[in-house]
Chains A and B, each alone.
Chain A
């Protein structure tokens, strides 16, 4: 299998590595080569898998105890010595407990710190709302200068981590708890920060998904194809800066768009896409899937995704609604019948 840019290690080297384990492995690989990379966590080395870095490179690993705000500021301070700090904790703590430190010390000061936020969305389902995080995309995208990435699976996480280290500036990568099924077959695909991946082309409708929802979108598109509905799927791994060209292209080509994310429908991918649509002035049938301004209940992750309509079943239901929706056509859309 071809290896991703700059990496000597591929998914084939490990059996069924999870999203979290992969980023730990990739980060360690990068750290062994790049002495500027340091890793920090706040008593979650084992849970976030950044502990892999500690095993191999203990002299560049810092556990600051349960103090996330302090961790972010310490990381920002470390950049003063030319280091590239990578911090990892749960998404809920990175994006909310430490929010003002991320905004003021990382973004405002343009500090080259990378956050790898795990257990995002409701991936830690049974832990309940304190450990869910359905707000981080909204919060992080509002910080000027922040790059926000939600990889679809372990392979994409590996690519995102490598790209983030190469990128000069603050980056927020949100991943799940680590038990997410693979979406890609390997690490061998084009990955560029800010560039959507068109996983499937289609004429009737476009699903724009991010994170774990991408796999669900692909399953739904497959099932829809069986019913004669042609669905385009965009893997929008970078929520900010958004690939607006890909959104506009989907808008002009299909005029029906559904967004899916393991996140609140307020402020995340859906709103970012809606903004592009609104500014275009074009008519569009549109639906946002995600948590509808609610805290999710406790449960298994897959049950929660189903209950809140962000799995393939939920997307299929949304496809039916959006295909029926009427909107005012304009002269730019020649396919409208």
Chain B
């Protein structure tokens, strides 16, 4: 549990970062803003509280690893890394521009702080499992955190990795599903049914927790549970709201990807301020 002061600080940080995501989306012409907002509290809790990292040493051997398996959330990830000081956030003015190090899906070889290049769905959980197994093989205590999208769970490779992670008892691996229930073509449950998603991961051998994915305390409590687990990797089904924080984007499939004109930007910022 966070104390009241810490909670306030993290919430303010989350709000400030949402505003920055709006600004980048405005300048870059378009971004996956809906998913960046649904995953947002999970990334904030991990990067500003839970993970062992040092922005001054992005290649520090003993740092915790983070994989944004839903790589299209890169705009949110990039804003956080810039804010933490992995690079000058001013560089984000070039997001999506020709020749920029920042594309929609972040490249680990171009963006400091990015441990794995993602964008193709269904890779992150297996990459995270490999990292976790590598840490264990080399006797290191760093942990690996993976954030997936819910739509991504239609990929068969997610389940190959899910099966293997439980088989290898990768308790140094923790994964989240950003369960916003909307993918590109509409509601996940009418496209390709995922429910009961928690039962599915449970059946594959994971300890599965279902939480409110915008509640920082619940996210950090889940991290504590994962750290204490000795038998099973922990999967968190984080119930979230696509477009969270901006009233006209919330629960709207259309805001999977979109651009903002000046009026929309101002409206978005006003909505974030109220939330």
Contacts and interface: CB of A to CB of B under 8 A. Distances in A.
Interface stretch (B123-131, B227-235, B260-268): B123-131
Interface string B126-156: 1111111111011010001000000000000
Pairs A-B, 6 closest by C-beta atoms: A77-B130, A81-B134, A73-B126, A70-B160, A74-B130, A78-B134
A83 B137 contact: yes
A83 B126 contact: no
A332 B117 CA distance: 49
A73 B138 contact: no
A104 B133 contact: no
A77 B120 contact: no
Contacts of B108: 109
Given A69-B157, A83-B138, A109-B116, A74 B164 contact: yes
A108 B120 CA distance: 12
Contacts of B167: 65
A83 B61 CA distance: 13
Contact of A65 (B120, B130, B134, B163): B163
Interface in A256-313: none
A101 interface: yes
Contacts of A223: none
A110 B117 CA distance: 10
B270 interface: no
Nearest to B61: A82
A77 B126 contact: yes
Interface string B18-49: 00000000000000000000000000000000
Given A108-B117, A109-B108, A80 B131 contact: yes
B65 A105 contact: no
A107 to B, nearest CB: 11
B137 A73 contact: no
B161 A73 contact: yes
A244 interface: no
Interface string A216-253: 00000000000000000000000000000000000000
Interface in A58-87: 60, 62, 64-65, 67, 69-70, 73-83, 85
B160 A67 contact: yes
A62 B135 CA distance: 14
Contacts of A60: 137
Instruction: Using C-beta atoms within 8 Å of the partner chain, give the interface range for chain B.
Output: 20 to 34
Most chain B CB inside 10 Å of its own CB: which residue of A73, A75, A108: A73
Contacts of B135: 80-81
Interface of A: 38, 60, 62, 64-65, 67, 69-70, 73-83, 85, 100-101, 104-105, 108-110
A94 to B, nearest CB: 15
Contact of B137 (A76, A78, A109): A78
B137 A38 contact: yes
A74 B146 CA distance: 13
Contact of B133 (A65, A78, A109): A78
B247 interface: no
A70 B122 CA distance: 9
Contact of A70 (B61, B131, B134, B164): B164
B128 A77 contact: yes
Given A70-B157, A76-B127, A78-B134, 6 more contacts: A62-B168, A73-B127, A73-B129, A80-B134, A104-B123, A108-B107
Contacts of A70: 126, 129, 157, 160-161, 164
B212 interface: no
Most chain A CB inside 10 Å of its own CB: which residue of B109, B135, B137: B137
A97 B168 CA distance: 23
A73 B129 CA distance: 9
Given A83-B137, A83-B138, A69 B126 contact: yes
B115 interface: yes
A64 B168 CA distance: 9
Most chain A CB inside 10 Å of its own CB: which residue of B65, B107, B157, B168: B157
Most chain A CB inside 10 Å of its own CB: which residue of B116, B144, B163: B116
Given A69-B160, A70-B157, A74-B133, A81 B138 contact: yes
Contacts of B119: 104
Contacts of B107: 108
A100 to B, nearest CB: 6
Contacts of A104: 117, 119-120, 123
Contacts of A67: 160, 163-164
5 contacts: A67-B163, A73-B157, A73-B161, A74-B130, A80-B116
A74 B116 contact: no
B164 A65 contact: yes
Contacts of B168: 62
A79 B65 CA distance: 12
Contacts of A81: 131, 134-135, 137-138, 140
Contacts of B137: 38, 60, 78, 81, 83
A83 B133 CA distance: 10
Contacts of A101: 123, 126, 157
A331 B133 CA distance: 61
Contacts of A73: 123, 126-127, 129-130, 157, 161
B258 to A, nearest CB: 26
A119 to B, nearest CB: 21
A64 B129 CA distance: 11
Given A81-B138, A82-B138, A108-B117, A76 B163 contact: no
Nearest to B130: A77
Contacts of A109: 108-109, 116-117
